[in-house]
Amino acid sequence: MKRPILATAIACIAASFAAVALAQQPPQKVRINLASAFPTSLTLIGEAPVKLSKKIERASAGTIELKINEPGALVPALQAIQAVSQGSVDAAWSNAGFYAGTDSAFNLFATVPFGPGFGEYTAWIYFGGGLQLSREMFAKHGIHNIPCAIIPPEASGWFRKEIKSAADLKGLKMRFFGLGAKVMAKMGVATQLLAPGDIFQALQLGTIDATEFSLPSMDQKFGFYQVAKFYYFPGWHQQATFLELYINKKKWDSLNDPQHAIIEQACGDLMREVFAEGEATQFKAMREMQDKFGVQIKKWSPEILAAYEKGWNEVIAEESAANPNFKKVYDSYAAFRKDYSIWRDTGYLK
């Protein structure tokens, strides 16, 4: 009887040592191959995924590697999210407006013309149902999306000539993003969406007459001021813009909960950093472009802004009638805006 007991004890001890040895083994390294829609040399939104990668590496003690690939290295910049859906890349750094060819409602998760700033937009996304709606829509395409950054108001565009009335816009060819492009079309502008790296050449060659892209610090990097000197504000079409990490759903589901938490927390930290840097760096870029390159900073007249807003209201009605998903998302957003207005109108200085 002693031998079976001894054998059992030895077996238990051996199993315990095996369990300890297994627990002491380093965690298996996870690699996430990411296609970025923006060059990593680009201030803020191009640098952001590199910073995200470093945050994730640090928090995971090097067990999660987010491998950043430049636009075009794996897929064209404007096809990054589509590639995630197809499973040809693990992840993308982009924004939902670049996926709007699949469904126009995706535009509303990137930015909304005449829409909210940072506080109101993040409030709707996180506490007004916006993130739930976007997750439902992206999940149908095999994608898990995580908001990772938000940037301040963008500039409204670069023009070769001063725009003195809405009539001056008619016939222009212009690079424009998102739902704002539909508004500009109503103003008689022929719009097209170009990848960031293609804009300057198109402007220089005259393929387009004008362009909008982003914040002054980013526009300065591209050198648009070399071709067009009239720089218009405010960015009525993008008062705040979300950028996200898009991960293939199967890849996301293969990660465990602690790994999910590391990525989500890194995204939250990045959002704070990108927004603060965005607010802190625009005045320097604007002053430099004015003083060194003769850029004329202009503000839209109340009449032209009113014409843009009229066009936007027409776009809302048309898109809502044509696309049930757009109506569903916009109705959620509009209802939240209405409820939020008492706080916005009374809580903030004008």
184 in the same domain as 66: no
Give the model's pLDDT for residue 350.
78
DSSP result, 200-261? HHHHHHTS-SEE--S-HHHHHHHTGGGT--EEEE--TT-SSEEEEEEEEHHHHHHS-HHHHH
297 in the same domain as 229: yes
Q: Is residue 256 domain-resident?
A: yes
What CATH number did the domain enclosing 132 receive?
A: 3.40.190.170
Which tokens sit at 278?
A: 């965005």
Asked whether the whole model's pTM tops 0.85, one would answer: yes
Domain total of the chain: 2
Is residue 49 scored above 60 in pLDDT? yes
271 in the same domain as 287: no
Domain containing 309 equals 157-238+282-323
Give the model's pLDDT for residue 197.
92
- Taking residues 208-212, what's their average pLDDT? 98
Give the model's pLDDT for residue 5.
53
Residue 189 has, within 13 A of its CA and on its CB side, a CA count of 29
DSSP 8-class letter at 272? H
106 in the same domain as 43: yes
Q: Is residue 40 domain-resident?
A: yes
Hey, is 265 helix, strand or coil? helix
pLDDT, tens digit, 9 for 90 and up, residues 111-150: 999 999 999 999 999 999 999 999 999 999 999 999 999 9
d(CA 240, CA 249): 27
Is residue 21 scored above 50 in pLDDT? no
Q: Is residue 1 domain-resident?
A: no
Helical spans, DSSP H, in the chain: 2-24, 48-59, 80-86, 118-127, 130-139, 178-186, 196-205, 216-222, 249-254, 257-293, 302-322, 324-347
49 in the same domain as 60: yes
One-letter amino acid for residue 313 of the chain: N
Q: Apex CA 258: angle with CA 92 and CA 94, to 5°?
A: 15
Strand order in the sheet with 296-299: 190-192, 173-175, 210-211, 157-159, 230-233, 296-299
Is residue 233 scored above 60 in pLDDT? yes
d(CA 48, CA 42): 9
